[in-house]
């Protein structure tokens, strides 16, 4: 009991935590990291094409779910283990590190074999056994804010991971439920500077789930950079209108993602932030 009482809490972290991902990428106040990819792992062809595209545009990491938390049990639930194999190919062939979701404590070690960053989705922010299990890893964890969680509850959830000894926690603002229906969620950008007043843990923003609308991704992504976020999590799909989950409506295509990255790069210069790009094989442009 005593060690739980004494363990590090997110609010006690005053300095910016520099999280190293895969010994390559380091989140720091001078850099800005863009994580991009489809909602779900689909075919190897679509997934690899997406990974190549986002890598060439300057993404730092690739995102895609093999285990999907869907509102309906009748919706596509992800490719599971087959999807994890496709993600392994993405890392090997494209060179991007992988961010992917883990939904249950029993799956943490399987997902950690592939993931450079384990994602915990909004619906699992209060899954305390899951939080405790990822707390046993040294691997970074991207913790999404519960769609009905206050910032205080969000930081307590992060504390469950810290209590296990894992201080590599990245907070993700992904929108909260309000009375507004035009957007899927209300993206709470004030959470970014507010969380930064409360903790040194890095904060990234997901304008895809945060708005549910493709047209709002770029403006909110730029606003996230301007208000001090450490990075973005963006859904990108080579053919959004034919994505396997309904999330094509909140995904950029590869050309729109490329345009956004150019804009972020220019904006980053203004704020003294460099867009951190992954090292990708030189041959990638020709493949
Ligand atoms: C996702 O990132 O694919 C996802 C399911 O997000 P959220 O948990 O924020 O809904
Ligand atoms: Mn999604």
Contact call for residues 51 and 90 (beta carbons, < 8 A): yes
CA distance 261 to 51: 15
**Model confidence at 5: pLDDT above 70:** no
| 38 C-alpha to ligand 2 centroid (Å) | 7
**Model confidence at 222: pLDDT above 70:** yes
**% of the chain with per-residue pLDDT over 70:** 98
**Model confidence at 11: pLDDT above 60:** yes
Q: Is 121 in the pocket of ligand 1 (CB under 6 A)?
A: yes
Q: Which residues have C-beta under 5 Å from ligand 2, the single-atom ion?
A: 39, 247
Q: Look at 16-25, 128-137, 180-189 and tell me which has the smallest mean pLDDT.
A: 16-25
Q: Is 59 in the pocket of ligand 1 (CB under 6 A)?
A: no
By most ligand atoms within 8 Å of CB, the mutation choice from 121, 130, 212, 217 for ligand 1 is 121
Per-residue pLDDT band at 90 (split at 50, 70, 90): very high
Residue 260 makes CB contacts below 8 A (sequence gap 6+) with 217, 218, 221, 234, 252
Q: Which atom of ligand 1 is nearest to the CA of 69?
A: 5
Q: Is 168 in the pocket of ligand 1 (CB under 6 A)?
A: no
Give the pLDDT of residue 236: 98
Give the pLDDT of residue 278: 85
Nearest CA to ligand 1 atom 3: 39
Using DSSP's 3-state secondary structure scheme, residue 182 falls into coil
Give the pLDDT of residue 281: 83
Residue among 244, 231, 237, 235 nearest 212 (CA): 235
Angle at 237 between CA 235 and CA 238, to 5 degrees: 155
Give the pLDDT of residue 287: 65
Q: Is 144 in the pocket of ligand 1 (CB under 6 A)?
A: yes
Mean pLDDT of 162-186: 97
Per-residue pLDDT band at 14 (split at 50, 70, 90): very high
Q: Which atom of ligand 1 is nearest to the CA of 175?
A: 9
Residue among 234, 275, 229, 279 nearest 33 (CA): 275
**Model confidence at 50: pLDDT above 90:** yes
CA 214 to each of CA 219, 234, 241, 252: distance values in angstroms, whole numbers, following the listed order? 10, 10, 11, 6
Residue linked to tokens 């020709």:
286
**Model confidence at 47: pLDDT above 70:** yes
Contact call for residues 97 and 118 (beta carbons, < 8 A): no
Give the pLDDT of residue 13: 95
| 50 C-alpha to ligand 2 centroid (Å) | 15
| 235 C-alpha to ligand 2 centroid (Å) | 7
Give the pLDDT of residue 4: 55
CA distance 54 to 33: 12
Q: Is 39 in the pocket of ligand 1 (CB under 6 A)?
A: yes
Q: Is 210 in the pocket of ligand 1 (CB under 6 A)?
A: no
Please tell me the total number of residues recorded for the chain in this structure: 287
What are the start-end ranges of the E strands in the chain? 20-21, 25-26, 31-37, 61-63, 97-101, 117-120, 141-144, 169-173, 203-205, 231-235, 274-276
Per-residue pLDDT band at 25 (split at 50, 70, 90): confident
Per-residue pLDDT band at 64 (split at 50, 70, 90): very high
Mean pLDDT of 63-69: 97
Give the pLDDT of residue 118: 98
CA distance 249 to 11: 36
Mean pLDDT of 48-71: 97
**% of the chain with per-residue pLDDT over 90:** 88
By most ligand atoms within 8 Å of CB, the mutation choice from 146, 170, 206 for ligand 1 is 206
**Smallest-distance ligand from the CA of 68:** 1
Give the pLDDT of residue 270: 96
Per-residue pLDDT band at 286 (split at 50, 70, 90): confident
Nearest CA to ligand 1 atom 9: 122
Give the pLDDT of residue 39: 98
**Smallest-distance ligand from the CA of 243:** 2
Nearest CA to ligand 1 atom 6: 121
Mean pLDDT of 108-117: 97
State the greatest distance between any 2 C-alpha atoms of the chain, in Å, as a whole number.
Answer: 57
Give the pLDDT of residue 58: 96
């Amino acid at each position: 009991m005593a060690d739980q009482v004494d363990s590090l809490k997110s609010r006690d972290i005053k300095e910016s935590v520099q999280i190293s991902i895969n010994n390559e990428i380091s989140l720091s106040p001078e850099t800005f990291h863009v994580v991009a990819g489809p909602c779900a792992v689909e075919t190897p062809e679509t997934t690899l094409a997406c990974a190549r595209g986002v890598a060439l545009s300057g993404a730092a990491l690739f995102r895609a779910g093999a285990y999907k938390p869907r509102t309906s049990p009748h919706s596509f639930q992800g490719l599971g283990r087959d999807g994890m194999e496709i993600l392994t190919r993405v890392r090997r062939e494209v060179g991007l590190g992988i961010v992917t979701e883990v939904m249950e404590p029993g799956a943490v070690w399987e997902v950690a074999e592939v993931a450079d960053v384990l994602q915990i989705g909004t619906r699992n922010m209060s899954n305390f056994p899951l939080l405790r299990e990822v707390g046993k890893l040294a691997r970074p964890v991207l913790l999404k804010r519960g769609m009905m969680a206050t910032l205080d509850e969000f930081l307590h959830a992060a504390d469950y991971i810290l209590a296990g000894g894992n201080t590599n926690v990245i907070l993700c603002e992904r929108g909260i439920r309000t009375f507004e229906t035009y957007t899927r969620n209300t993206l709470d950008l004030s959470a970014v500077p507010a969380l930064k007043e409360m903790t040194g843990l890095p904060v990234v923003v997901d304008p895809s789930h945060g708005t549910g609308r493709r047209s709002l991704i770029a403006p909110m992504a730029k606003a996230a950079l301007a208000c001090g976020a450490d990075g973005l999590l963006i859904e990108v799909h080579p053919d959004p209108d034919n994505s396997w989950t309904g999330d094509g409506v909140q995904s950029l295509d590869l050309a729109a993602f490329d345009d956004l990255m150019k804009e972020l790069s220019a904006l980053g210069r203004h704020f003294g932030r460099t867009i951190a790009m992954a090292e990708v094989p030189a041959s990638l442009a020709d493949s």
